[in-house]
Amino acid sequence: MDEMQFTPSPEMSIGVELELQLVQPHDLDLARDAAALLARLEKSKLPGAVKPEITESMIELNSSVHASHATLAAELATMRDAVVREAGMLNLRVSGGGAHPFHSWSDRRIFPTERFKHVLERYGYLAKQFTVFGQHIHVGCPGGDEAVYLVHMMTRYVPHFIALSAASPFYQGEDTSFQSCRLTAVNAFPLAGHMPFVADWGEFLEYFETLRGFGVVESMKDFYWDIRPKPDYGTIEIRVCDTPLDVAKAARLAAYAQALAAWLLEERPRAPERAVYLVNSFNRFEAARYGLRGALIDPFAGRKKSLAEDILDAIAEAMPQAERLGSAPELAALAADVRAFASDADWLRAQRGPAGALGDVVRKAAERWSAPA
Amino acid sequence: MDLSFLPQLPPVFGQTFLVGALLLAGLLGGELARRALGLPRIVGYALAGMLLGPQVSGVLGPGALGNARVLIDLSLGLIVFELGHRLDFQWLRRNRWLFAAAIAESAFSFGAICATLLAFGFAPLLAASAAAIGTATSPAVVLLVAHELRSAGQVTERMLLFTAVNSVFAYVALTLLLPFLHLEHAAAWSLAVLHPAYLLGASVLAGAAASFVLLVLARWVGKREDRQFILLIALVVLAVGAARNLNLSVVVTLLTLGLLARNLDRRHVLLPLRFGYGGQLFFVILFVLTGASLDFSALPAAAAAVAAFIAARFLGKALALLAFGWLSGLRPSGAGLLSVALLPMSGMAVVMVLDTAALYPEFGGELAAVVLSAVAVLEILGPIATQFALKRAGEADPAAAGG
């Protein structure tokens, strides 16, 4: 039961995980050198942690726990610099973005740990297709009941995080017409989706124990939900974001999650409602397909509005909290992007050029990731 | 009865038939080696060539081999161009120890071979020339084994880099020894200085000119894979032809072309290189012809010297890599595997030996026998060593490696 014991964390603390692409410069395809890079990074004294991911073409940066956006952004920049430097020693490039534009999934190789081997055995080709790159945002909660409340309430804002981070327009050599095609790779897993509509932590534990009794899951890691409670960290984890093209954006998204959570937990504007989950698939699809230009059904008001408008309203509502938390300029920057309909996905499309060379997209994305802000 | 429409008997077959026969023999040899013995296909190509060659069946006589020199140069040109194109100056700038390690790898194998040959009582100048020739790893073998295994990773990348560096090192060292060979021949000092200067300088210049034309035209043509493919082949063939006609080094010219095409391409006008099946044709021909020119006849007599030559060469490489590898970010196991991967000896060596012997007949005797025997042995063992190293390093694609 240890893992399911909810460890309270400092209120409104934040942390992020960033899955990154390793690229080989000669053909700009994904590389397979995660192990060599991780071995080099072990020797350098870094804040946070760098970990392997499902295939040998990925690494994952984990920040430490932060109270404010400023320290998180600084730490991510430090980690970025170290990773880029060590990757350069091995003739590798590092890039953000939710998916590699043209790699072939069958070329991928599973990183050899017991857990990843098990995932391959269980899920077959889905495991290799899962070579997509996401940002996970953790927000600290004082207890399990608060976490359950926050998961239900944040679900309404899932399309915001999808649209704001969308950075995977290309997949398998084609323009998918989606702003974030990465989510489609996640949807294929049987335990994808969302947390059931439980009332509190006690009810959640009952649900978890039932599934564990059936042998469906062994731990929280088996749920590939959009937002899941992470009791051992004492957080909720938002998992729908594509990894942005630079660390500044990644820190900014965390600041937005933090301000929204602070607003929801302190003001408790409403009780959780099932209606959120009725419209969830539609809203999620709109955000992944059209990004900031998508539509959103507001389950509370019962009407359709533009996603951009909804984000601007939410930012306005969370702004007082952001001012208190010291991240008001970050939310203002996000709002400016929304007004301009500026997204990483469109930036990537713009790099493709008239001849349609996807290699250029990869190279420019890696240059952007590596540039000190 | 007028039978003049019949060909003369036995019929005489020309170049076209020869090329087809080489390809077929290579295909069969490669598949047999793969399926029956689990060896790299390259070994099969070479064995097929040996069976056809003057040493065994004599289907391919010395005349046919002479005519095929164009094909060898073209194939070698393509391979060396691709090798040059893989080299990234940015990597050397970011990882300065890498270049030091590559130079040490060349210098140590040169020194070790030279010392060994001196110990066997060869004259210093001859020993140094043979050591220079022996320093080079075969670009064709390492590139092809890497392709065949779809290998990717640190050992693979460094293997290609070090091969490019030691190929240049070998050629430059041999060229720098030329003046001494000339002077020992009592040639005029002007010849002794001008000949190597022309060989190196003009080869680099020709490669640079070709790379300039390539980049300008690539920019104009645009990023279309089909058109850039034609452009690349055109310029590679053009450069090989020019190098031959101007008495330059095909290897240095084409390596320069590849290197500069990659590293001067600031606007990134060139698409990533893919020679595909078309390239494979040239590679098969190259290895079958190399196989046919292999000469094991002197091996029994020179066995001790050949074994010492190969051992010294390997130890030199291994020592340098173990000493400098870790500074460039290579793990000790990787350094060991890299020195095994670099074992294949270049088919270029055959050409270098013949060219040197033409200049300096004394070279053609016993020493040539040692070098050519080492080439022959390593043509068979080298690809196996490279394949083993890349698989052991975990960089081969299991699907490609198992099939």
Buried b (16+ CB within 10 A) or exposed e, B150-169: bbbbbbbbbbbbbbbbbbbb
Name residue A140's beta-bridge partners. Answer: A235
Count of beta carbons in the 10 Å neighbourhood of residue A83? 25
Cβ partners under 8 Å of residue B362, min gap 6: B123, B126
The shortest C-alpha distance from B223 to chain A (Å) reads 6
pLDDT digits (tens, 9 = 90+) for B69-83: 788 888 889 989 999
Q: Where are chain A's structural domains?
A: 2-18+110-341
- Alpha-carbon distance of B138 to B342, in angstroms, equals 8
Contact B328 A89 (CB under 8 A): yes
pLDDT digits (tens, 9 = 90+) for B344-370: 997 777 777 777 777 777 666 777 888
| Per-residue pLDDT at B302 exceeds 60 | yes
Contact A25 B272 (CB under 8 A): no
Contact A91 B95 (CB under 8 A): yes
Nearest to B272 among A26, A33, A85 (CB): A26
Distances (CA, A) of A148 to A142, A157, A176: 11, 15, 35
Q: What is the mean pLDDT of residues B296-316?
A: 91
Does residue B386 or residue B53 have the better pLDDT?
B386
- Alpha-carbon distance of B31 to A83, in angstroms, equals 43
Residues of chain B with C-beta less than 8 angstroms from the C-beta of A89? 94-95, 328-329
- Alpha-carbon distance of A224 to A201, in angstroms, equals 19
**CATH top-level class of B68-402:** mainly alpha
Q: What is the mean pLDDT of residues B328-335?
A: 84
B192 φ/ψ sector (left φ>0, alpha ψ -120 to 50, else beta):
alpha
pLDDT of residue A135: 98
- Alpha-carbon distance of B354 to B367, in angstroms, equals 12
- Alpha-carbon distance of A34 to B343, in angstroms, equals 27
pLDDT digits (tens, 9 = 90+) for B155-206: 999 999 999 999 989 988 988 887 887 777 667 777 778 888 898 999 999 9
pLDDT of residue B192: 78
Q: Which of A98, A168, A160, A178 is nearest to A338 (CA)?
A: A160
Q: Is A38 on the interface with B (CB under 8 A)?
A: no
Residues of chain A with pLDDT under 70: 1, 373
Distances (CA, A) of B122 to A79, A142, A247: 57, 82, 63
Count of beta carbons in the 10 Å neighbourhood of residue B370? 26
Is beta strand A192-193 parallel, antiparallel or unpaired with respect to A224-225? parallel
> In B100-147, where do the E strands start and end?
none
pLDDT of residue B1: 75
- Alpha-carbon distance of B321 to B311, in angstroms, equals 15
The shortest C-alpha distance from B370 to chain A (Å) reads 38
Contact A40 B329 (CB under 8 A): yes
Report the interhelical angle of B124-135 vs B96-119 (nearest 10°).
Answer: 140
Contact B329 A27 (CB under 8 A): no
DSSP codes, B360-401: -GGGGTHHHHHHHHHHHHHHHHHHHHHHHHHHHTT-S-HHHH
User: Is A2-18+110-341 a domain of CATH 3.30.590.20?
Assistant: yes
| Per-residue pLDDT at B256 exceeds 70 | yes
Q: Name the residue with tokens 């001067």.
A: B264
- Alpha-carbon distance of B42 to B148, in angstroms, equals 9
Contact B154 A90 (CB under 8 A): yes
Kindly report the pTM of this predicted structure.
0.90
Does residue A369 or residue B266 have the better pLDDT?
A369
Q: Which of A89, A176, A91, A165 is nearest to A133 (CA)?
A: A165
Among B151, B157, B333, pick the best mutation site for testing chain A contact (most A Cβ within 10 A).
B157
pLDDT of residue B403: 41
B14 φ/ψ sector (left φ>0, alpha ψ -120 to 50, else beta):
beta
- Alpha-carbon distance of A264 to A241, in angstroms, equals 20
Residues of chain A with C-beta less than 8 angstroms from the C-beta of B90? 25, 88
Measured over the CA atoms of residue A293, residue A227, residue A58 and residue B326, the dihedral's sign is positive
Nearest to B94 among A27, A36, A88 (CB): A88
Residues of chain B with C-beta less than 8 angstroms from the C-beta of A360? 223, 268
- Alpha-carbon distance of A8 to B282, in angstroms, equals 67
Nearest to B271 among A88, A109, A359 (CB): A359
The shortest C-alpha distance from B276 to chain A (Å) reads 14
Q: What is the mean pLDDT of residues B294-306?
A: 86
pLDDT band at B89 (very low <50, low <70, confident <90, very high): confident
Contact B272 A24 (CB under 8 A): no
Distances (CA, A) of B50 to A56, B41, B206, B386: 41, 14, 35, 21
- Judge residue A235's burial from the number of C-beta atoms within 10 Å of its C-beta, 0-12 exposed, 13-18 middle, 19 or more buried: buried
Preceding omega of B10 cis (within 30 degrees of 0)? yes
Enumerate the H helices of chain A as residue ranges. Answer: 34-43, 69-89, 114-123, 125-129, 144-155, 158-165, 182-187, 201-214, 247-267, 275-290, 307-325, 328-340, 344-351, 358-370
* Residues B360, B185 contacting (CB under 8 angstroms): yes
Measured over the CA atoms of residue B252, residue B255, residue B257 and residue B260, the dihedral's sign is negative
pLDDT digits (tens, 9 = 90+) for B225-254: 888 989 999 999 999 999 989 988 888 999
3-state secondary structure A56-89: CCEEEEECCCECCHHHHHHHHHHHHHHHHHHHHH
Mean confidence (pLDDT) of chain B:
87
Nearest CA in chain B to A43: B329
Residues of chain B with C-beta less than 8 angstroms from the C-beta of A370? none
Does an H or E element contain A225, and which? strand A224-225
